[in-house]
């Protein structure tokens, strides 16, 4: 059985075959010292397995997404209006409070404030760990809502999950520049606990 296992790894059979060695080349079987009386062979099948090459498959993103042109991006305009409703004022206050707290934690000194490359990397790393939370929470919430209402979501779930995946990829890219230490990881753990539950509510 051990010899058969080694042979199976070296000479894989087609998916439809129920027995790996039914059409195995005789030369390979002889090298393993396997009895050939119970195995059939044919020159075409021998040539197929002898010349078979390992195919390297490229990874493809399983979540389809829209591809925007340069013209589409140029049409995006930054807009802002002064909050008048109470909920808008509360939202703006919450955003400014979190921004101020994040600036303090990341030691942000503003443009031209003398931040080092390490300061920028720490800021970007922590930012991406938080930025990947809203899309995941929103996608999960809409998924649960679709289950409760038994209605289609019209594609929003995939869009939000793709946004969360995009932020996670940013984090992995920044981690090629610097590996965070234990204290930084502890702050990320606390930040996830706060932001995940806050966004879910």
What pTM was computed for the model? 0.56
* Neighbour count for residue 59 (Cβ, 10 Å): 5
State the average pLDDT for the chain: 76
Report the percentage of the chain scoring pLDDT > 90: 15
The domain limits of the chain are 84-114, 116-200
Arithmetic mean of pLDDT, 27-50 = 58
Arithmetic mean of pLDDT, 21-50 = 56
Burial degree of 58 (CB within 10 A; 0-12, 13-18, 19+):
exposed
Helix/strand/coil for 134:
helix
Arithmetic mean of pLDDT, 46-74 = 69
Closest CA to 137 of 201, 69, 65, 199: 199
Helix/strand/coil for 154:
coil
Helix/strand/coil for 105:
helix
pLDDT per residue as tens digits for the range 106-139: 888 877 777 888 888 888 888 898 888 889 999 9
If pLDDT is split at 50, 70 and 90, which confidence band does 3 have?
very low
* Neighbour count for residue 175 (Cβ, 10 Å): 13
Which pLDDT score, from 0 to 100, does residue 16 have? 41
- Judged by average pLDDT, the poorest of 57-66, 91-100, 113-122, 171-180 is 57-66
If pLDDT is split at 50, 70 and 90, which confidence band does 47 have?
low
If pLDDT is split at 50, 70 and 90, which confidence band does 200 have?
confident
Query: Is residue 2 pLDDT above 70, yes or no?
Result: no
d(CA 119, CA 55) in angstroms, rounded, equals 44
Which pLDDT score, from 0 to 100, does residue 22 have? 45
Report the percentage of the chain scoring pLDDT > 70: 68
Which pLDDT score, from 0 to 100, does residue 178 have? 86
d(CA 90, CA 65) in angstroms, rounded, equals 33
Burial degree of 122 (CB within 10 A; 0-12, 13-18, 19+):
buried
Closest CA to 160 of 187, 177, 140: 140
If pLDDT is split at 50, 70 and 90, which confidence band does 26 have?
low
């Amino acid at each position: 059985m051990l010899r058969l296992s080694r042979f199976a790894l070296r000479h894989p059979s087609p998916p439809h075959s129920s027995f790996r060695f039914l059409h195995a080349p005789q030369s390979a079987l002889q090298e393993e010292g396997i009895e050939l009386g119970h195995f059939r062979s044919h020159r075409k099948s021998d040539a197929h397995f002898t010349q078979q090459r390992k195919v390297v498959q490229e990874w493809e993103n399983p979540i389809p997404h829209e591809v925007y042109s340069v013209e589409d991006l140029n049409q995006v305009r930054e807009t802002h209006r002064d909050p008048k409703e109470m909920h808008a004022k509360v939202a703006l206050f919450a955003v400014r409070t979190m921004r101020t707290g994040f600036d303090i934690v990341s030691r942000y000194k503003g443009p031209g404030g003398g931040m080092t490359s390490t300061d920028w990397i720490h800021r970007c790393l922590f930012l991406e760990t938080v930025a990947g939370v809203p899309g995941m929470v929103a996608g999960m919430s809409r998924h649960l809502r679709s289950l409760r209402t038994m209605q289609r979501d019209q594609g929003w779930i995939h869009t939000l999950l793709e946004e969360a995946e995009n932020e996670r990829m940013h984090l992995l890219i920044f981690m090629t520049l610097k590996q965070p230490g234990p204290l930084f990881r502890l702050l990320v753990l606390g930040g996830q606990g706060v932001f995940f539950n806050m966004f879910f509510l």
